[in-house]
């Protein structure tokens, strides 16, 4: 099955056909994500560990049932790829709802819980596309720096000095040394 056919008939995007198996009344298509790469360095030389292989039922074609064989760690990558591939909130909403339905069909409890979480917070997630990539990541990062400062100081006795240290935080490079 071609990538184009998978997309237009099943709505599956970002995966490629690997192999096919034919059984009594069903066709099993083995698919995998087109590319894996490290989020930090962009390298394609990464090792994916211990995948769980699941069968997900697709939309039937002709008289046979259609199943897709997919590795579960690919579900995480597929969710991440939505942020890269969706151009607007409507595409993102359709892709997220499709991901949630596929996640539920895997019958993996953790993926089902994640699908519920995505559905419960869908409006907040879609705000990323509505407001041109708006995220609260920098605010959370700065709050983590303030918590780090509090842990380092074990409580400042002079509140004014503590406020000055907070204003100085953007200049400080905080790295954990292992």
> Could you report the per-residue pLDDT of 13-46, keeping only the tens digit for each?
667 777 888 888 887 777 776 655 555 555 554 4
What share of the chain in percent tops pLDDT 90? 5
HSE-CB at 5 with a 13 A cutoff on CA atoms is: 8
Secondary structure of residue 79 in the 3-state scheme: helix
Quote the strand ranges of the chain, DSSP E: 15-23, 26-33, 53-57, 65-71
- Whether the pTM exceeds 0.75: the reply is no
The pLDDT tens digits of the residues spanning 110-168 come to 788 889 999 999 998 898 888 887 777 888 888 888 888 887 777 667 778 888 888 88
Q: What is the mean pLDDT of the chain?
A: 76
């Amino acid at each position: 099955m071609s990538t184009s056919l998978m997309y237009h008939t099943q709505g599956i995007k970002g995966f490629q056909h690997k192999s096919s198996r034919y059984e009594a009344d069903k066709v099993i298509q083995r698919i995998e994500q087109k590319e894996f790469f490290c989020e930090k360095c962009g390298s394609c030389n990464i090792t994916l560990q211990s995948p769980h292989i699941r069968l997900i039922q697709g939309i039937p074609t002709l008289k046979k049932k259609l199943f897709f064989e997919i590795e579960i760690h690919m579900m995480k990558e597929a969710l991440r790829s939505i942020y890269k591939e969706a151009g607007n909130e409507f595409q993102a909403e359709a892709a997220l709802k499709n991901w949630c339905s596929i996640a539920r069909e895997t019958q993996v409890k953790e993926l089902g819980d994640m699908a519920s979480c995505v559905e419960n917070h869908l409006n907040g997630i879609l705000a990323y596309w509505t407001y041109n990539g708006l995220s609260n990541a920098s605010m959370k990062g700065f709050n983590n720096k303030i918590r780090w400062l509090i842990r380092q100081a074990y409580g400042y006795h002079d509140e004014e000095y503590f406020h000055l240290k907070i204003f100085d935080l953007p200049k400080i490079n905080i790295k954990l040394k292992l």
